[in-house]
Amino acid sequence: MIGLQPSREVFITCAVTGSGNTTGRSDKVPVTPQQIADSCIEAAQAGAAIVHIHVRNPETGAPARDPALYGEVVDIIRESNVDMIINLTAGMGGDLVFGSSEKPLPLNENRTDMVGASERLNHVRNILPEICTIDCGTMNFGEGDYVMANTPSVLCEMAKQVQELGVRPEIECFDTGHLQLAIWLKSQGLIDDPAMIQLCMGIPWGAPDDMHTFLAMTSSIPKGWVFSAFSIGRNQLPFVAMSILAGGNIRVGLEDNIYLKRGVLATNGDLVKKAAQTAEGMGCTILGPQQAREKLKLEKRWG
């Protein structure tokens, strides 16, 4: 760890639900707009400055990208008067599922959800959050025939539209090449300062969550960029300390990990509190939403 410059002031992002099949493994994962909004409020009250929001079909729990569902979640949050920075995913609409290993075409139409850049940003355009995520690359994602598809042309168009909307992109990097693509997008003038990235570690088959890979990625982040990092599963909470030691910020939440410890299901509030305890134990100051806005040069959109 020689040469690292640990963070002294950090903000916490809570990714409250995600789009994975976690609802079948934990009844604490929020599904309905009310539950998702309540979980965001719980996370903010526990110390999260930023909440990262996906939505789900309220009846089935399946991932959704209906702008009306996002609007309902954000309306409930704003009516609560609990301050937090809203970060909406823009990752939905890039799901490519091939037919099978022997007959990849035609695509699996029931599971493939591929739409254009503008449609992927409809909810962002309607709500104008302070932040939205852009998944910076294409990769095999887990098992089977699913590919997370984000071509350079789509990413350029999404970044251009997000920039025109005055929304800050958080660039999600799942592998080493994704970081290089993010650096290229910045060089094209499509990302404003300070550039904000999220290192997403431990997701098959992206960057593994070992120390060597993590330090290789953090050492490649340009000076002046603001980064956070997380790992999925049991390494989520250890990565709180890892990110701090590398000079970054924190992400926890039920999108990435459903356990507080072995055999004990967590709430989003539990995970935020645990992350805050770790950070404070390392001598860090936890930034609130307004302090995080100042660090990220964001303009408060409501309240």
The two tokens of residue 93 are: 């609409």
Residue 209, SS3?
coil
Summarised one tens digit per residue, pLDDT across range 224-260 is 999 999 999 999 999 999 999 999 999 999 999 999 9
**234 DSSP 8-state letter:** G
pLDDT band at residue 88 using 50, 70 and 90 as cut-offs: very high
The answer to whether residue 303 scores a pLDDT higher than 90 is: no
303 domain-assigned: no
134 domain-assigned: yes
51 domain-assigned: yes
Mean pLDDT for the stretch of residues 13-28: 94
Report the pLDDT value the prediction gives residue 7, as an integer from 0 to 100.
Answer: 79
Mean pLDDT for the stretch of residues 65-90: 97
165 domain-assigned: yes
Mean pLDDT for the stretch of residues 31-58: 98
Residue with tokens 């660039």: 171
Report the pLDDT value the prediction gives residue 4, as an integer from 0 to 100.
Answer: 62
Report the pLDDT value the prediction gives residue 20, as an integer from 0 to 100.
Answer: 87
The two tokens of residue 79 are: 């009516």
Q: Report CA-CA distances (Å) from 188 to 156, 171, 272.
A: 9, 15, 36
Are the CB atoms for 227 and 218 separated by under 8 Å? yes
Report the pLDDT value the prediction gives residue 191, as an integer from 0 to 100.
Answer: 96
For residue 163, give its domain range: 9-296
Ramachandran region, residue 186 (left: φ > 0; alpha: ψ -120 to 50; beta: rest): alpha
Q: What is the DSSP string of 146-183?
A: EEE---HHHHHHHHHHHHHHTPEEEEEE-SHHHHHHHH
pTM > 0.75: yes
CA distance from start to end of the chain: 42
Mean pLDDT for the stretch of residues 138-153: 91
In CATH, what number is assigned to the domain containing residue 237?
3.20.20.70
Give me the number of domains the chain comprises: 1
Mean pLDDT for the stretch of residues 1-6: 58
4 domain-assigned: no
Mean pLDDT for the stretch of residues 147-156: 95
283 domain-assigned: yes
Are the CB atoms for 31 and 17 separated by under 8 Å? yes
CA 31 vs. chain centroid, Å, equals 17
3 domain-assigned: no
Question: What phi, psi does 223 have (nearest 5°)?
Answer: -60, 135
Report the pLDDT value the prediction gives residue 223, as an integer from 0 to 100.
Answer: 93
